[in-house]
């Protein structure tokens, strides 16, 4: 059904007619672990929203239990609404999940739907998603991310060194699972990437405050690390601030990838917990929540770094004024290149350029390839 707007001659808006979701569990190419978790597969939840003969595509990385939440509760909220009025629909979804909490799986479900609705709007207007959102940047810097604690020396060096050969000037490895091994792993990493590459480290909340402070001096003083991610749990805002206040100069303390909404981002910024705020478009209530949280960060004069899901995230990143970079995470880049047509690669010094030659995010699901991984 199309709605005609009085006073806007010739302007008609399409209503959302259906919301679909499916989950695909993709095994990792080898066992993976970080400072606090081990895993052997990743679940991609894809949402499609229909209107005006077009389908918008969005996704999150979550558990397959997100699927019935999308196809029941959120479908009831979204179906019949104006496909152009994405922000109003976002508010309606956030209100609808009040009793579930605007966190966790509910926030991931809203994220996937919101991402699909922005893509749908762009496709209906025959615009690229980046142009619809209003780019502040022509390209988005990427950093290579993996370096799992489960890797042996050869795998670690090959992965990090491979990104440098690709032209990516920033790479990150995981630390904290076996602190006694980490000096050696950092030596391997630094040798593989050379002194001219920015080296980052991610503890995934493996340390307490005192241990994190000690490691901050090792990381910076012995290996020239510039980025220390989640030295303590991202829920420990006081602990993050304590590490930040006692770390050496030249080392940024960062966190935020698990923030589920813009108001939790404000709490992290109010606590002066980070030097750079990480945000995830698949977790923080979608593109709408991501841009709202980025605006809060700008008010604090804090840069934003986007966490993962690069093929979807780069469009939102380009609209962020105070953007640092986007995480080119091994698991997600592998899955997205396997299951989506239209995926792009970094070029020209690790820069991602959102597609402007196709409507929406430029992605389409390879259904036949994805079907063997389907779990919901």
Enter the tokens of residue 350.
């690790």
pLDDT tens digit sequence for 248-297: 999 999 999 999 999 999 999 999 999 999 999 999 999 999 999 999 99
Question: Measuring CA to CA, which residue among 339, 366, 350 is closest to residue 314?
Answer: 350
Residue 194, pLDDT score: 98
Question: Looking only at Cα atoms, what is the longest distance across the chain?
Answer: 70
- Give pTM, 2 decimals: 0.96
Residue 254, pLDDT score: 98
- Rounded Cα distance, 172 and 163, in Å: 10
The strand pairing partners of 276, in sequence order, are 254, 303
pLDDT tens digit sequence for 36-47: 999 999 999 999
Low-confidence ranges of the chain (pLDDT < 70): 1-12
Residue 13, pLDDT score: 79
Strands of 299-357 (E only): list them.
303-306, 323-329, 340-341, 351-352
At residue 372, φ and ψ (nearest 5 deg) are -70, -15
Residue 365, pLDDT score: 98
> By CB neighbour count within 10 A (0-12 exposed, 13-18 middle, 19+ buried), where does 4 fall?
exposed
Percent of the chain with pLDDT over 90: 96
Give me the half-sphere count of Cα atoms (radius 13 Å) on the Cβ side of residue 214: 8
Residue 23 in contact with residue 48, Cβ under 8 Å?
Answer: no
Domains, in order of start, for the chain? 2-126 (3.30.390.10), 131-365 (3.20.20.120)
């Amino acid at each position: 059904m199309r709605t005609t707007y009085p006073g806007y001659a010739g302007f008609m808006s399409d209503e959302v007619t259906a919301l679909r979701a499916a989950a695909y569990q993709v095994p990792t190419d080898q066992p993976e672990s970080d400072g606090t978790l081990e895993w052997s597969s990743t679940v991609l939840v894809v949402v499609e929203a229909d209107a005006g003969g077009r389908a918008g595509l969005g996704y999150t990385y979550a558990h397959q239990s997100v699927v019935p939440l999308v196809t029941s509760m959120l479908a009831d909220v979204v179906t019949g609404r104006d496909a152009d009025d994405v922000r109003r629909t976002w508010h309606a979804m956030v209100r609808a999940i009040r009793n579930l909490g605007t966190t966790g799986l509910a926030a991931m479900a809203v994220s996937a739907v919101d991402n699909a609705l922005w893509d749908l709007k762009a496709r209906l207007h025959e615009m690229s998603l980046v142009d619809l959102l209003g780019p502040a940047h022509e390209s988005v810097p990427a950093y290579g991310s993996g370096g799992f604690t489960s890797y042996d020396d050869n795998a670690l060096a090959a992965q990090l060194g491979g990104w440098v050969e690709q032209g990516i000037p920033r790479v990150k490895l995981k630390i904290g699972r076996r602190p006694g091994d980490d000096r050696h792993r950092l030596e391997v990493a630094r040798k593989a990437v050379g002194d001219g590459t920015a080296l980052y480290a991610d503890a995934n909340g493996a340390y307490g405050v005192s241990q994190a402070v000690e490691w901050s001096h090792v990381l910076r003083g012995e290996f020239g690390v510039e980025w220390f991610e989640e030295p303590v749990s991202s829920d420990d805002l006081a602990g993050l601030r304590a590490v930040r206040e006692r770390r050496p100069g030249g080392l940024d303390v960062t966190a935020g990838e698990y923030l589920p909404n813009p108001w939790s981002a404000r709490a992290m910024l109010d606590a002066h917990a980070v030097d750079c705020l990480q945000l995830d478009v698949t977790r923080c209530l979608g593109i709408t929540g991501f841009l709202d949280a980025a605006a809060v960060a700008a008010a604090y004069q804090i840069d934003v770094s986007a966490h993962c899901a690069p093929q979807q995230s780069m469009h939102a990143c380009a609209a962020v004024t105070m953007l640092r970079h986007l995480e080119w995470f091994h698991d997600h880049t592998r899955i997205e290149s396997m299951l989506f047509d239209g995926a792009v690669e970094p070029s020209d010094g690790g820069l991602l350029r959102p597609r402007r030659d196709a409507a929406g995010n430029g992605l389409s699901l390879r259904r036949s390839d994805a079907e063997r991984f389907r779990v919901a």
